[in-house]
Structure 1
């Protein structure tokens, strides 16, 4: 960004958390405004919500955060689904529904998440993509407060947030469930930050583990795993809990209700560590589901698009599959690509995976990752038939059945789908469900669905199969028009106030570029330490997606014990190759009005 730019007016299809009022920039004049461009499927966006919470508390009378919900999936365009997500994730600031992507384009966003900062006089002063900006954003806000308080243009006071009415149901946005040996069900009651045991019919509460308050000890827990009896006896707990927003794993002893921390520092993962790690010293990233496979725990590490392993007895952990690149690529593990794996289930020699952002059903067998159903990051829908043509929409759960078939909680289609490996066919078992997030196949063969946005467990009628022709969707984000041949890709990064690039452990920046299809790039793929790269676009490929992963390490200036920070973003940039396209593609990791 260059010069002084007036922030574009806020306009959307509707507003949440404002008591029914539509807000304008004039209503926010005198405040520092942080626009958070997000979409509720995006794990990195959920990370940013957590980064913003302490800033909202600290600067409550001077800063207003506005969520701008710019949807990726078709389901996310539904205003009711958005309202449910705002409650589910505890969003305590106004949210504008940018269903037509108008504000996304006005603010030139190219990635989820993106933050834009507006000063108290209505000028756009900074843009930041990705997560890890909390410290830099705090420093920028401090500078803006000092300046505008001195100028008399800062007006402290209550913001426009109006909390919605509360709700009372047995469960609130449950995430995952398992069957206990006695027949009762154990459920992650995610929005109430607890784990609950309910009767086998899902209707009555037996007991609750956790206080029900965020972070005490659970914070939006998801996956649950009943350990093998011999392992449980050795480690001293029966159930492993993916404590998702705390970025930790916790052990639960059923007899006493004791909860213990078994993995994760509580800090979100920021950079790779090779090899085996002490589990309690490891930084995890939104563990979403758990499975016992190959004599170890496998963790769906949704936040960094990987699977990790965890050894409860040795108390160690490490990467099992994935490279942190968010995309779809099969092959021998670990050098594969995934996109927010969120559901796991073991069937025979296969580990089945609900890979949510690629709308895919995948599996690992004999050390190789395969895709059974799914076509990529931007292709989704509700289509049955041969697996190579079938489509899902952001599935979060999966359950292998004794007959070899696999059930999928097809979350954004509101359906349970069935894949039969013997025939290669996909069918719809049930539909009309409200964001199903997990499936339990009980010991007696019953199928129980965690119907998350309906706040209940639903038992499916046996033998029902529906055929759905459905619709095929493709995410229509405005593509970048680029010229064939030479293209300069610039990742713009300016250290936050009071910070400098940190080279004490080697190069301070890293840039990894790949393409889908790979033929889109004739030159320029790979990893370097510079944030500018010369690419050569293939004139024979009309369009595709550039996968760009950038990170920058900074540290505080002139402090005896300077803190270090890592900013990171993974872009999937749709491009169209055309003769009148641009020869430079800028991506803002962190930019200001002076950069």
Structure 2
């Protein structure tokens, strides 16, 4: 289908609080008439949104004179609505296009967006021609943009020229958005994420002893001056006998490279030990370590009960396991569904786990998107997942007291304390919290810490990575008494979708891009999985199936909840001459908050790729 046959829907105006990366200038959509406009609806907490930022970079370079990419930042958490926090995130993630600050989700609602991230293509005449939710749409977008350029060049409605991006001033600091900290015998190792390197500091937390990594974004192995990382994060020390066997001491989660790296402390030599450099999207996630895809490993920790390194696989909401001696990886816990569900490790739901800390009997984890503190423990028949703090994807806040009533806001780090309690880097509350499992109480140890993301005990003192302040801090003086904060509960500002009680038609919209067709050579080309929370939200319709349309039956005894929807579609190049066509798998996960009303709509459409023409 060519772009000229697509539905002609005028793109709504861009409305927000202000603009970033434009040199102070504000824009309207009409200012970009004659260009292809790509709107990226994102929020900086979302790992899928961060993946899309990287996917868009090649397109922005390839179509630099005809494409204008605009990030529409529509926040999930209260902290993300802070303009200073947004400016820091735009700098942290090297966003090289204009960003519209949309704190009230005004533009989000105008475009009927239902998921982070969502991509909307607007043609040079100002009409919406393509919508895609989730990640992995790079090649589809390339085809759509190529087609639009050809069509509008022929019509004379395409204007080439420089884009509106104006870079902010460069920041000169020793650390730039550091992520995690690892205490060594006589020093501290810090992952200097935005400098794409590791820095070894003296125990004062300021004196630089050496830098491991060239500072270039890349994945090269080698000596410290040649090695490359891409936004490294968590690190863990291997037991001495294991380190002696494998030839490296520290395992590093090289997040944006989707790799694990090994570092030999004696000389700083860096080696890739797990991952292919490609992001896992579907299929096998277990096998030989160097032949198996990973997806945004955010933290790592050696945990003796697991007999290896546990990986916080933020990109697909699971925990992985790396055996450095056998050089294998496998899924340790989780299903890839984003949510909060306890139970047997293989059945648990996680939500962008970003921090790990190990004790003899528990593996503590910060599950950021559910604002939760959770743990894994050994059971008679395997491992089980439990929750100490947190209720789900859409509830957060800063409230102390009984753990089952306490609230966090997008925590990214944890540290085990000698008394058996846990320090929590409550990142979006700019606070250090403490959970004591002995009495199931949560308290606040420190506030006004700029986005803490990691912590470690150094000579009995908690050293914290204050990421947005680009430094290490010691915000908890020895012997400090914990505060009790009686804060209010908050909820994600994203408006819920209203649905009717009784029968509800769920439709996942997917149209293969021009030149492709659904691939059913080896069986059904599509798959749909539906779950819900609470479990009694749906009377019928949960489970797996192969059709992208599903009849659901919504309970009349539940007022609200979340529909968890996972959809995928396999499509291949439609060229009968080519013996081995290029095939791609498109996959998207939604956590859709719903409000149940007897007279609500009886159709819920989620666009994975294309346009929902039926609803027009």
* TM-score of Structure 1 vs Structure 2, range by shorter chain: over 0.9
Task: Tell me the secondary structure at the aligned position of residue 17 of structure 2.
Answer: coil
Partner of 1:349: 361
Q: CA deviation at 1:579?
A: 1.8
Q: Is the 8 A contact 1:439 1:450 kept in 2?
A: yes
| Secondary structure class of the residue paired with 1:145 | helix
Distance 1:576 1:187 in 2: 44
CA distance in 2 between partners of 1:273 and 1:106 (Å): 39
Report the equivalent of 1:22. 26
CA distance in 1, matches of 2:357, 2:270: 24
Report the more deviating stretch, 463-472 or 131-140. Answer: 463-472
| Residue of structure 2 in register with 1:308 after alignment | 320
Provide the TM-score with structure 2 as the length reference.
0.95
Distance apart, 1:594 and its partner CA: 6.5
**Equivalent residue runs for 1:433-444 within 5 Å:** 433-442=449-458, 444=459
2:531 counterpart of 1:514: yes
Equivalence map 1:60-459=2 (5 Å): 60-181=64-185, 183-216=186-219, 217-273=228-284, 276-293=286-303, 294=305, 295-366=307-378, 367-442=383-458, 444-459=459-474
| Aligned counterpart for 1:44 among listed residues 45, 48, 73 | 48
* Counterpart Cα distance in 1 of 2:425 and 2:71: 28
Q: Deviations over 1:40-93 (max 9, x none)?
A: 000000010010011111111110110000000000000000000000001000
Separation in 1, partners of 2:561, 2:310? 32
Match of 1:578 in 2: 597
By how many angstroms is 1:504 displaced? 3.4
Distance (Å, rounded) in 2 between the aligned partners of 1:472 and 1:305: 25
Which secondary structure state, in structure 2, belongs to the residue aligned with residue 471 of structure 1?
strand
Separation (CA, whole Å) in 2 of partners of 1:316 and 1:423: 39
Provide the C-alpha distance between the structure 2 equivalents of 1:86 and 1:296, rounded to a whole number of angstroms: 35
**Alignment check: 8 A CA contact 2:397 2:490 kept:** yes
Aligned-partner Cα distance in 2 for 1:593–1:254: 55
CA distance in 2, matches of 1:86, 1:570: 24
1:103-138 deviations in whole A, cap 9, x for unaligned?
Answer: 000001000000000001111101100111001000
| Separation in structure 1 between the aligned mates of residue 89 and residue 488 of structure 2, nearest angstrom | 24
User: What is the CA RMSD across the aligned residues, in angstroms?
Assistant: 1.3
* CA distance, structure 1, for counterparts of residue 313 and residue 29 of structure 2: 38
Tell me what 2:222 maps to. none
Superposition TM-score, scaled by structure 1 size: 0.98
The unaligned stretches of length 5 or more in structure 1 are: none
After TM superposition, the structure 1 = structure 2 runs for residues 467-482 of structure 1, keeping only pairs within 5 Å, are 467-482=484-499
**Count of aligned positions:** 592
Alpha-carbon offset, residue 463 of structure 1: 2.1
Is the CA contact (8 Å cut-off) linking 1:126 and 1:593 kept in structure 2? no
Q: Is the 8 A contact 1:3 1:593 kept in 2?
A: no
Q: Deviations over 1:509-556 (max 9, x none)?
A: 111101110100000000111101000000111111111111111122
C-alpha contact (below 8 Å) 2:76/2:492 kept by paired residues: yes
Work out whether residues 4 and 593 of structure 1, in 8 Å CA contact, stay in contact via their aligned partners in 2: no
**What are the Cα deviations for residues 456-513 of structure 1, in whole angstroms up to 9, with x where unaligned?**
0001311222221122101132211111111010000001112111223432111110
| Larger relative contact order, structure 1 or 2 (CA cutoff 8 Å, min sep 6) | 1
Whole-Å Cα distance in 1 between the matches of residues 145 and 449 of structure 2? 43
